[in-house]
């Protein structure tokens, strides 16, 4: 379970967006659906994450946050000596929606449809 406690502590302050970005960038890649969002590669370790906050909606019990994430993936080959596949990082992008409970900081993450 993701808990964005620092972000909840910073809610309604000038530092909220910066705190949120830092906290999301520090999450373990397995907590985010980045692997499922790949469109040009087939594996990611979530490196080089850059967060863009697209919208923040204040609801009664939750804060709904739509973000864009730029990150890198690779096309994994068979690792054979004669494998012609280059080991290049490929830029990827996806949009996620975070629902953060204001009282507990418990957060759910949903991958938004790619167009």
**Backbone phi and psi for residue 20, each to the nearest 5 degrees, phi listed first:** -60, -45
**Helical spans, DSSP H, in 40-90:** none
Q: Read off the pLDDT of residues 11-33 as tens digits, 9 standing for 90 and up.
A: 999 999 999 999 999 999 999 99
Res. 9 pLDDT band, cuts 50 70 90? very high
CB 73 within 8 A of CB 19: no
Query: Where are any strands of DSSP class E within 27-88?
Result: 50-58, 62-74
What is the mean pLDDT of the segment spanning 26-49? 91
Q: Is-contact 62 34, C-beta < 8 A?
A: no
Calpha distance 111→109 (Å, rounded): 7
* Joined tokens for residue 48: 């080089």
C-alpha–C-alpha distance, residues 101 and 36, integer Å: 24
Q: Which of 10, 2, 21 is nearest to 107 (CA)?
A: 2
Tens of pLDDT, residues 62-97:
999 999 999 999 887 656 666 666 667 889 999 999
Contact 111, 88 (CB under 8 A): no
Domain that holds residue 7: 2-111
Q: How many domains does the chain have?
A: 1
Average pLDDT value for residue range 47-76: 93
């Amino acid at each position: 379970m993701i808990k964005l406690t620092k972000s909840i502590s910073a809610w309604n302050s000038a530092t909220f967006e910066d705190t949120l970005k830092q906290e999301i960038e520090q999450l373990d890649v397995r907590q985010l659906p980045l692997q499922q969002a790949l469109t040009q590669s087939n594996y990611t370790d979530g490196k080089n994450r850059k967060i863009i906050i697209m919208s923040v909606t204040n609801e009664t019990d939750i804060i709904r946050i739509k973000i864009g994430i730029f990150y890198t993936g690779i096309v994994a080959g068979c690792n054979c000596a004669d494998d012609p596949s280059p080991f290049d990082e490929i830029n990827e992008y996806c949009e996620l929606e975070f629902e953060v409970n204001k009282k507990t900081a418990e957060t759910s993450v949903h991958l938004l449809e790619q167009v």
